[in-house]
Chains A and B, each alone.
Chain A
Amino acid sequence: MVETSSRDHNAEAVIGHGGALKIGVLALQGDFIEHIHMLKKLGVEAFEIRKASELEGLDGLIIPGGESTTIRKLIDLFGFVPGLRALANRGAALWGTCAGMIVIAKELTDPYPEPLGLIDIKVSRNWFGRQVDSFEGEFAFKGIDGGPFLAVFIRAPVVESFGDSVDVLARLEDNGKPVAVRSGNILATAFHPELTEDTRVHEYFVSMARQAAASKSTAGAS
């Protein structure tokens, strides 16, 4: 940990009660370290998940940016599919960023990779074109206060269509295509909050995981 200066008051803001929250980041390939770094900034216990058995007991899981084709193949190769479905079904918070959004979608406009179908959205991959067309811009994000969010898009997808269960949290300004969506315990963003210094989307996800943990302990007590 080098950037001691950026460890700020956010930590106190999100550390809740009721024991330590456990959030994992799928660390098969991609920018998982950046997510871990953001979570640690918020004072959350964050774990690199490299084996399916490590999914047990997590209150939340982030599937990071990376190469969606690669991450999807590694999910199969290392036997993660049942564990990921179980995690989503038991109500733990799940967040896919960019490649992660593609992996958890219900449907893609491309024939492959075969998505996991955990959130009712249809996603178009590399919608903005190849790398030279990556860009960044500012967006309003529903449920997040404090002004617009700087979003970094890298060979990013967009949501083409979505089911009734899905709430749109952020859209592209020019054509209204959704780039951040939520359905219950599942969050998906086309962009990369982990590549900025702004921790607000991570705070949003941590509060989702906190809700998941709270309902788990309530269920356990009853």
Chain B
Amino acid sequence: MDSTSASGTAVNGKAHARAWREGSKPEVGSWREKSGLAQMLKGGVIMDVVTPDEAKIAEDAGACAVMALERVPSDIRRDGGVARMSDPDLIQGIIKAVSIPVMAKARIGHFVEAQILEALGVDYCDESEVLTPADNAYHINKWEFKMPFVCGATNLGEALRRIGEGAAMIRTKGEAGTGDVVQAVTHARTVLGHIKKIQHMDEEELMTEAKNLGAPFELVLEVHRTGKLPVVNFAAGGVATPADAALLMQIGVEGIFVGSGIFKSDNPEKMAAAIVKATTHYNDPDSLAEYSRGLGSAMKGIEVNKMSDDQRLEKRGW
């Protein structure tokens, strides 16, 4: 992926924000800062944690942010039931424990959970398919918040709709809580491949392409011009080893989320550090060989291709 134009897109993105948020105050929580924080996370690893101790382990291993949760996705999957925003005590305990940014999840469309997370001082809200959706038709209007949002996407249309709603960062959905990287790879290739296709289209084709994608025309135009998403693009869902992380980086994402893959492995400290190092030196097989040694077992996992459709979290989102 060509990321050399990123400093320009911050400005373009801001123009969109201004156009769509008439009368809003640009100085605080502006598009540039919201998407700018995501720029600061690039080349980094964001880890799911459920306790302050785990958050410290993640920070010590070199994570660039943590996702504060009550249960990691594989446990949410195992336990069933309705998955909701985490307890504010837990989130604030984790905020106190570390100096890196803390993210937390709200249900799709649950703007009040997002309001609560903003009130708690959470650095980033993940409007996440891992939790049970609260709205069957609509996502949160993310322009209403000073707090930036990250959202999942399985394809380019979905990514651009989320950015159109104000998401400052996109991640692939993958299939969370499985330890199987296949869907993260599929989604990353789908999004990046479609970007290349649009980049090489004639301008005449773009409106129909926007219609087919169900995406805002202005954002399709921007993708055509810049050859990249207007915001930072991470991979998530099923990353379980240093090699998985490096695979997605080589495919062209800008950073990695690891959910269950750290604390469901044999040796979380070692696995966490190895995935961080592999994400920095993703293009260096000798280093990757070194980082992959002696980690013990990765999480056991579930093969996504053998799962039924109703078990797939990636289908959530509109």
Contact = CB atoms under 8 A, between A and B. Distances in A.
B4 A70 contact: no
B41 interface: yes
B147 A66 contact: no
Given A134-B29, A135-B33, A67 B147 contact: no
Contacts of B54: none
A34 B7 contact: yes
A99 B100 CA distance: 11
Nearest to B254: A33
Contacts of B307: none
A136 B6 contact: no
Contact of A3 (B5, B37, B60): B5
Given A66-B40, A67-B101, A134 B280 contact: no
B260 to A, nearest CB: 21
Contacts of B148: 131
Interface in A59-80: 65-70, 73-74, 77-78
Contacts of B101: 67, 131, 155
Contact of A37 (B7, B44, B147, B281): B7
Given A2-B226, A70-B100, A152-B32, A37 B5 contact: yes
B123 interface: yes
A132 B99 CA distance: 15
Given A32-B43, A66-B64, A195-B32, A134 B7 contact: no
Given A67-B100, A195-B10, A197-B11, A134 B33 contact: yes
Interface stretch (A22-30, A164-172, A214-222): A22-30
Interface in B119-175: 121, 123-124, 146-148
Interface in A90-116: 98-99, 110, 112
B146 A132 contact: yes
B64 A29 contact: yes
Nearest to B124: A131
Instruction: Bin the interface of chain B by size.
Output: 35 or more
Contact of A67 (B36, B40, B146): B40
B123 to A, nearest CB: 4
B153 to A, nearest CB: 21
A6 B225 CA distance: 13
Contacts of A3: 4-5, 8, 226
A31 B39 contact: yes
A30 B27 contact: no
A211 interface: no
B40 A30 contact: yes
Nearest to B279: A29
Nearest to A131: B123
B59 interface: yes
A153 B225 CA distance: 27
Contacts of A65: 39-40
A133 interface: yes
Nearest to A194: B7
Interface in A146-195: 152-155, 192, 194-195
Leading 4 A-B pairs by shortest Cβ distance? A134-B33, A31-B39, A131-B123, A67-B64
